Amino acid sequence: MPALWTRSGASEAPAQRPRGVPPGGEAPSKIESPGMSPGPVIRVSGIRKSYGKTLAVDDVSFEVPPGQIFGLIGPNGAGKTTTMECVEGLRQPDRGTIEVFGLDPIRGAQALQRRLGVQLQEAHLQKRIKVWEAVDLWASLFDTTVDAAALLDQLGLTEKRNAWFMTLSGGQKQRLFIALALINDPELVFLDELTTGLDPQARHTIWDLVREIPARGKTVFLTTHLMEEAERLCDHVAIIDHGRIIDHDTPAGLVARHCPERSVLVSTTHPDAASRFRALSSVDRVTSVDDQLTIRGHGPDLVTETIHCLSEHGMRVTAFRTEEPTLEDVFLTLTGRSVRQ
C-alpha cells in the first residue's frame, strides 16, 4: 500500500492557508524533530481528573515508547477517553504531569499540533460538507500530507467522496474521521474507540491500516473496549477500571501472568481416557460430560503431552480442540465482570 503514505503538498489550495497555527496564535520558532525527543513519546505521571463528585481518573501513570501501538483498555466509563483527552491536551488534569515528545500537551499545543493525528470518539462535521471537501480542508492545515485519494480508497470511502457528511452511515463517518486523523502523516496518532460501529470487514480493514503505522517509525495510542482489537493490534496494553490502572504489560504477558491455565477438549469413548490424562505432569484436572473430556493444565507442554497420550494408548478421537485464555479472561480475573459492560 505504498501510495497511501506518499507525501504530497495540498493541491488546489487558497493562496493563504493556516499552517497548524490556531487563530490569533504565532507559529513556534522551533519545532523539535523526532530525534530531539529522547525517551518515551508519552509520559504520564500520577494524573487525576474529577468532574464534580465523579472521579474519572485516579493516579494514572504510564509511558509509551516510540514506534509501538499502545492500548488503554477497559469497559465503557472506566476513564479511557478522559485519560486520552488529557494526553491530547483537550483537558487539564487536576494534578499530575503529562509529557508528549517532552512537551506539556497544553502549553506546548502549538508546537505539537503538526505532529499529532487525533480521531475522537464523538465528533461532527457540517451536514453538507462532502467527504473530499472535509479531507481537503484538513489537508490545507498542514505543510505535508499523505495521498488523500489513496487514503480514502484504503478506508473504503472512494465511492462516497462526493457524498454529504449527513448522508454517511455511522461506520462511514467513523472511517472519515480516521482519514482526517491520518491525513497529515502524524508522528503520534490517537485513536479513541476506532472501530466502534464498523462491520467486521471494515474493522479488519482499519486494523490492517493501523498495523502499518508503527512500521514507519510512528506511534499509536488507542483506547478500546474490544479485547480482540487490543490483542490483534497492541504491543503493550494498560487495563483501566474505575479510573485506575490495574495492570499493564504485553497482551501475552498479561495472559501468562493472570490466566496461565490452558484447556484441551477431547471427545473419545476410551474407558481409561480420564485416568490416563490425569497422570500427565502438566495436567491439573480433568472433567467429563458424556464422551467429551476437558483437560486443564499449565505450561507449554499440555497439548503435546495430551497428543502423545492419545497416540501411546491408541485412543480413537472424534473431536479435538484447544482453548487459549484471552485478554477478556484477564479482565474477568482482575475485575470479576465483563469488559463489555
* Per-residue confidence in pLDDT tens, the chain, 341 aa: 434 444 444 333 333 333 333 333 443 333 334 444 468 999 999 999 999 999 999 999 999 999 999 999 988 889 999 999 999 999 999 999 999 999 999 999 989 988 999 988 778 899 999 999 999 999 999 988 999 999 999 888 999 999 999 999 888 888 899 899 999 999 999 999 888 778 888 888 889 889 988 988 899 999 998 889 999 999 999 999 999 999 999 999 999 999 989 999 999 999 999 999 999 999 999 999 988 999 999 888 899 999 999 999 999 999 999 998 999 999 888 887 655 44
Q: Are residues 251 and 158 in the same domain?
A: yes
Q: Are residues 138 and 277 in the same domain?
A: no
Q: Which domain holds residue 268?
A: 261-324
Into how many domains does the chain fold?
2
Residues whose CB falls within 8 Å of the CB of residue 316, separated by 6 or more in sequence, listed in order: 268, 269, 270
DSSP string across 115-166: GEEEE-SS----TT-BHHHHHHHHHTT-S-B--HHHHHHHTT-GGGTTSBGG
Q: Are residues 282 and 234 in the same domain?
A: no
Whether 162 is in a domain gets the answer: yes
**Would you state the pLDDT for residue 38?**
62
Q: Which of 184, 186, 232, 180 is nearest to 211 (CA)?
A: 232
Q: Are residues 102 and 122 in the same domain?
A: yes
- CATH code where residue 99 lies: 3.40.50.300
Whether 338 is in a domain gets the answer: no
Q: Which of 314, 286, 287, 281 is nearest to 299 (CA)?
A: 281
| pTM for the predicted model, two decimal places | 0.79
Q: Are residues 140 and 55 in the same domain?
A: yes
Which residue do the cell numbers 467429563 mark? 288
